[in-house]
Amino acid sequence: MSASRLVNAPHTSIVTGACDADGSIASYAWSQLKGPNVANIGFPNSANSGVSGLVQGDYTFNLVVTDNKGLSASDTVHVTVNPQPAPGPNQAPVANSGGSKSINLPTTSVLLNGASSYDPDGTIASYSWKQISGPSAANIQAPANSSTGIYNMEVGVYEFELTVTDNKGLTATDRSVVTVSNAVAPAPPANVPPVAVANDTTVITLPIQNTSLDGSNSYDSLGGTIVSYSWSYVSGPSVAVLDNTDQAVALAKDLVIGTYVFSLTVTDNQGATDTKNVTVLVLNSATRPQISTVSYYPNPAYWHTTLKVEGSARGRATLQIYNTSGQMVSSQTMWIDQQTFTKEIYLRGYPRGTYYMNLRIGSNKPVVRKLQKL
């Protein structure tokens, strides 16, 4: 069965679908029967062959196949080559100078980039940069390149034009505005006062009469520094003796039963200050505050557990966590200043197993509870 095809190019391919019902194809032979010229059959003895050198007109090619027992058959292929389509009118290129720019002195140069210019039906053959306006004549470093540096500009507004020409002589233009401004130093940020940080309440029990007042966690934001500390006595049942009043940590001495208030003032490197009051409660040993209950929930716990303390004990508390080998795996300090106190204890990273939670509040005996980590 013959086949036909239409092509618009001087090259095509011809493909066979030949087969043998009771054997196999042993050979193929392609030949040209007619055409306006002699075409070039690339592979005359293959099942598939390219044909080149075609011109406008009609061609007929013949295929003879021979099977493995010497029988043969033939078929023809008709190829029609159409004339070359007439080219359309040339389209103008599109210029893109890269948009407007702004710079601040002491910078006096800028890069203008026209590489995004294009021609929809050809190529950009040339670029040309020129200055249109401005307070002075700027230096265009590479006026014939797709991108160029512009140098030696002054304060003011400059306008530059890019002209692109395509491979058939059509042109397009685009302009970029460059604004050069005086550098304006940013206003320094307003100073933010420092933050005085000290323990709210400290509880001691006679015969202890001295305690530290710790303001070392005070800080100054925005990169400033604390340049001075000042501790002072505010009130109490007696005038307390203070040592190291100009240090981050002061010492209050010779305290008697009652409630004392001390004040910490910190000053930063720009003269701003902040003040924090600290309370020291001095108890008689006979009235030592007691711990009613200490518990952890949930228990067993997976990621975290909550410590709950109830009772009249107040002040600095230390929680130490031990594994079953007696090794302390963590220690943390907290301040207990209310009848019912809770704190979340994170257990992420702890291996599964049993842990002993050792909590001491002030001078009270430690309270140990067992916790199971899942």
Q: Give the pLDDT confidence of 276-331 residue by residue, as tens digits.
A: 999 888 887 655 556 668 899 999 999 999 999 888 777 788 999 998 887 889 99
207 lies in the same domain as 275: yes
Tens of pLDDT along 152-207? 999 999 999 999 999 999 999 999 999 999 876 666 778 889 999 987 778 888 88
Asked if residue 142 is part of any domain, the answer here is: yes
Quick check: 244 and 229 in contact, CB under 8 A?
Answer: no
> Which of 18-27, 234-243, 352-361 shows the lowest per-residue confidence on average (mean pLDDT)?
18-27
Q: How many domains does the chain have?
A: 4
- Give the residue-averaged pLDDT of 345-351: 90
| Nearest C-alpha neighbor of 92 from the set 176, 163, 174, 169 | 169
173 lies in the same domain as 225: no
Q: What is the pLDDT of residue 7?
A: 55
Contacts of 138 (CB under 8 A, 6+ apart): 131, 150, 151, 152, 153, 158, 160
134 lies in the same domain as 154: yes
Tens of pLDDT along 60-72? 999 999 989 889 9
Asked if residue 86 is part of any domain, the answer here is: no
Q: What is the pLDDT of residue 185?
A: 61
Q: Which of 286, 308, 333 is the last residue of a domain?
A: 286
Q: Which residue has the higher pLDDT, 2 or 315?
A: 315
294 lies in the same domain as 357: yes
Q: What is the pLDDT of residue 297?
A: 93
312 lies in the same domain as 241: no
Q: What is the CATH number of the domain that holds 75?
A: 2.60.40.10
Banded pLDDT at 366 (limits 50, 70, 90) = confident
348 lies in the same domain as 368: yes
Sheet with 241-243, edge to edge strand ranges: 211-214, 249-253, 241-243
- Evaluate if residue 1 carries a pLDDT over 50: no
Quick check: 101 and 178 in contact, CB under 8 A?
Answer: yes
Q: What is the pLDDT of residue 16?
A: 61
172 lies in the same domain as 109: yes
168 lies in the same domain as 123: yes
CA distance 119 to 166: 6
**Residue 214: alpha-carbon gap to chain centroid:** 40
342 lies in the same domain as 365: yes
- Evaluate if residue 258 carries a pLDDT over 90: no
| Structure tokens given for 290 | 């007691």
Banded pLDDT at 336 (limits 50, 70, 90) = confident
Sheet with 40-41, edge to edge strand ranges: 11-15, 48-52, 40-41
Q: Which of 251, 268, 286 is the last residue of a domain?
A: 286
Asked if residue 176 is part of any domain, the answer here is: yes
**3-state class of 193 per DSSP?**
coil
Banded pLDDT at 5 (limits 50, 70, 90) = low
- Domain containing 155 equals 101-181
335 lies in the same domain as 278: no
110 lies in the same domain as 142: yes
301 lies in the same domain as 357: yes
Mean pLDDT of the chain: 87
Q: Which residue has the higher pLDDT, 262 or 16?
A: 262
Q: What is the pLDDT of residue 325?
A: 80
Tens of pLDDT along 102-133? 999 989 999 999 899 998 888 899 999 999 99
Asked if residue 189 is part of any domain, the answer here is: no
CA distance 150 to 140: 5
| Structure tokens given for 299 | 């228990």
Asked if residue 255 is part of any domain, the answer here is: yes
Residue carrying the six token digits 């002993």: 356
Asked if residue 158 is part of any domain, the answer here is: yes
Asked if residue 191 is part of any domain, the answer here is: no
Q: What is the pLDDT of residue 312?
A: 76
The pTM is what?
0.35
Q: What is the pLDDT of residue 235?
A: 92
Q: Which of 256, 286, 316 is the last residue of a domain?
A: 286
* Pairing assessment for the beta strands 72-81 and 156-166 based on DSSP bridges: unpaired
Asked if residue 93 is part of any domain, the answer here is: no
